[in-house]
Structure 1
């Protein structure tokens, strides 16, 4: 054993046996010093290559209904309860189709339709149904949705529409959730995810790091995600938004962000682990490269819902430089 005993344990447990680290073990990883970062990232990359392969899944997202949300998620500028610059707006069906076409041109296999709501009403469900039907007529791409908390009937409707994957983030550890959201509970989010899994759709569930959680809570969150066994985990880093309760928080440092990427990979060896929002300010170009060589095997390209991302071409070029093939559509179905 070395002075970084947890890396030796992870090599045997995760790389060789394919068994993810527990929450307690993830905490050991998150506490590793900076001089352990390179071997940690190298091990996480080995785990990703062994249990997920070299392909990278590319996704684009679009906001169907922006702003005016009644919930008080403290990180979100789309809440109608905060004095933020985001205003309510709807996207029409032709614009959805065009966004899907542009996403497919990048090589992406996933196109996610997102709405800032507690849960969908009849108008939103009708717009989603019309959008999905129109996209399927013109674009060969998997369609995912992120529409908040669902009823059993809505879950069945989305499955019948052909939704491939449903995103509903738990956002943070259960113990920290009341400090992030007060208008609904962590358990309500979990129930939607249970319904999605039962309906046969893939489960996409991740969260945001850097919302005032402790390292212990970050490790707790990784363990809770592992118990959910999601198909995909989008890993976001807080990009503090003016006017929100978290607008003055400091972004996660680059080394801490990379430690978290590797730790979540070691907790979830077979899961699609996706670079999502905030990586630009937390990691920059060099950090993005290190993350892709440290456990990440999926990216969102282009802009996010209310913040700018890297140009899609930049990420696609980086994947080519790293000789990481983009996962083909037939491999994601």
Structure 2
């Protein structure tokens, strides 16, 4: 048996195993199995994506959740996340900017008009101070009074009191990504630890807010470390996993890394779906650069069931109308607002 034939044989075995284990029994793939999926050869990619799509349809249905995001505080972050142009430690050309309450409400209204059912307020901070929490309270109240949309937040690491305050405000979902698997995390961030992020996630999950927790791929991690991230997310069991693909930003430590190839990105989508069969798996940053229009379509037919529409925090996204038209073409209804409560 040649090496190529052996590789294909392994791939067939893991796809067949995943079909029986994940699709039929609803049991997520384990770390070693996720690693095997990430090694699936190109000749089996179409079969792998079809299986991931079947899993998505069986356990999540055809609906797609649509979200828009806005940064209440951009740039000047004290942390050194190596992929992020908002860090104040790097030479990236992102200046510190704060939005006021009318601007937040206007952004929420525009997001709702795009067809989204959720609006996420993001701040480039280690964690929120009293000023930010006060502005969040005022902003969330103003949005809820004027716009028919769910409000989510992403404000860094939290204390228990801050978690309780966000619940009291009516924030229904909190985003706090693991960013990378535990073993690779020190290569990505040095100013805080994996355990600090994990602790915030546990507090959010226990609070009754929905936990949104994902990461980035294509940051130089090995396939094993990518599988580790998927497995650790499976252990955490977030309600939603945003999957970001590195968009190398000038002036950051990861600014010269290559963009992940489309095939590798699609394998990653399928692997995360098979590791998280019942979780909302959301297209997030970098998909436009990594996948393009055709790859974006393939990912929606390979396990993805949520999208961020419009621009991201410091990078441009697709025109929201293009994404909505694609969903309509694929026959994938947008999840109604009432179903996100």
TM-score (norm 2): 0.97
After TM superposition, the structure 1 = structure 2 runs for residues 95-244 of structure 1, keeping only pairs within 5 Å, are 95-244=103-252
Aligned residue among 303, 314, 318 for 1:306: 314
Verify the 8 A CA contact 1:235 1:273 in the aligned structure 2: yes
Q: 1:12 maps to which residue?
A: 20
> How far has the Cα of 1:223 moved from its partner?
0.3
What secondary structure sits across from 1:303 in the alignment?
coil
Q: 2:66 maps to which residue?
A: 58
Partner Cα distance (1:56, 1:106) in 2? 14
Partner Cα distance (1:278, 1:84) in 2? 17
Two-structure CA RMSD over aligned residues (Å): 0.8
Partner Cα distance (2:95, 2:147) in 1? 29
> How far has the Cα of 1:3 moved from its partner?
5.8
Partner Cα distance (1:151, 1:302) in 2? 31
Verify the 8 A CA contact 1:233 1:271 in the aligned structure 2: yes
Partner Cα distance (2:324, 2:26) in 1? 29
Q: 1:292 maps to which residue?
A: 300
Verify the 8 A CA contact 1:2 1:8 in the aligned structure 2: no
Verify the 8 A CA contact 2:11 2:39 in the aligned structure 1: no
Partner Cα distance (2:207, 2:303) in 1? 29
Distance 1:200 1:249, change over 3 A: same
TM-score (norm 1): 0.99
Partner Cα distance (1:5, 1:143) in 2? 43
Q: 2:283 maps to which residue?
A: 275
Partner Cα distance (1:91, 1:235) in 2? 26
Verify the 8 A CA contact 2:172 2:209 in the aligned structure 1: yes
Q: Confirm or deny that 1:252 pairs with 2:279.
A: no
Shift >2 Å, 4+ stretches: none
Q: 2:336 maps to which residue?
A: 328
Task: Give the unaligned 5+ runs of structure 1.
Answer: none
What secondary structure sits across from 1:65 in the alignment?
strand
Q: 1:37 maps to which residue?
A: 45
- Per-residue CA deviation, residues 130-155 of structure 1 (Å, 9 max, x unaligned), is 11000000111110000000001000
What secondary structure sits across from 1:119 in the alignment?
coil
Distance 1:264 1:182, change over 3 A: same
What secondary structure sits across from 1:283 in the alignment?
helix
> How far has the Cα of 1:2 moved from its partner?
8.2
Partner Cα distance (1:272, 1:192) in 2? 20
Task: Count residues in correspondence.
Answer: 333
Partner Cα distance (1:163, 1:137) in 2? 13
Verify the 8 A CA contact 1:60 1:301 in the aligned structure 2: yes
Verify the 8 A CA contact 1:145 1:167 in the aligned structure 2: yes
Task: Give the unaligned 5+ runs of structure 2.
Answer: 1-8
Q: 2:5 maps to which residue?
A: none
